[in-house]
């Protein structure tokens, strides 16, 4: 948990908790075994299989998925290395392949760990789709492998099929609104109307960001 739909919205969406409830003590440590490797990061088939399970990419055709798989960048990070830093400009998202990463956000002027991301999860999609600055810092808790999808990769897909923009904006809107407390008691119609409004806003930002589409 987008984690960066922004990262914090991603965290909240996947944990079912509000941001306030996600704050851990600063020295909280991870005692469970680190996630084990299940994929060959250099195998086209394994890369494609992982990307096919990413919610944001769910509308891609088999051909589009193959094209994206052939273009993604495999990034490796050492334990303690920063993948993204809060406030930095960004135009990409990451899909975690191997390892474990921690998400840090500012709380009363202090950087606190608010979540962890495990293989198969993704983060940074708001920066990829709208150019929004990074909303949190993500640091490798172990040696880590991630696939990076850049604006250039996404632009090629959207130029070929602009309709993907609507699907992606709806996914982002849904993720951003899942934990909005003000909507907890709203009717299904009100929730849908809010989602539609949010999706339109996201799509407008995407169109401004991908000016060639």
pLDDT (tens, 9 = 90+) of the chain, 213 residues, equals: 444 544 444 444 444 444 333 433 333 334 334 444 556 777 889 999 999 999 999 999 999 999 999 999 999 999 999 999 999 999 999 999 999 999 998 888 888 998 999 999 999 999 999 999 998 999 999 999 999 999 999 999 999 999 999 999 999 888 777 767 667 777 888 878 888 998 999 999 999 999 877
**Domain 7-158 CATH class label:** mainly beta
pTM for the whole structure: 0.77
Query: Cα–Cα distance between 103 and 111 in angstroms, integer?
Result: 10
């Amino acid at each position: 948990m987008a984690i960066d739909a922004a990262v914090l919205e991603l965290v909240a969406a996947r944990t079912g908790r509000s941001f306030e409830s996600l704050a851990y003590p600063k020295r909280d440590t991870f005692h469970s075994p680190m996630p084990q490797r299940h994929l060959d990061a250099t195998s086209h088939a394994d890369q494609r299989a992982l990307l096919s399970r990413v919610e944001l990419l769910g509308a891609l055709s088999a051909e589009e998925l193959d094209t994206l798989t052939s273009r993604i960048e495999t990034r490796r990070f050492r334990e303690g290395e920063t993948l993204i830093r809060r406030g930095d400009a960004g135009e990409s998202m990451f899909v975690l392949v191997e390892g474990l990463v921690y998400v840090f956000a500012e709380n009363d002027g202090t950087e606190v760990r608010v979540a962890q991301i495990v293989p198969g999860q993704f983060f940074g999609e708001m920066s990829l789709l709208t150019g929004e600055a990074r909303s949190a810092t993500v640091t490798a808790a172990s040696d880590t492998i991630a696939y990076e999808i850049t604006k250039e990769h996404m632009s090629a897909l959207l130029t070929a099929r602009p309709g993907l923009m609507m699907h992606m904006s709806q996914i982002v809107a849904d993720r951003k609104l899942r934990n909005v407390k003000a909507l907890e008691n709203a009717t299904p119609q009100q929730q849908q109307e809010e989602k539609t409004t949010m999706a339109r806003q996201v799509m407008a930002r995407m169109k401004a960001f991908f000016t060639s589409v």
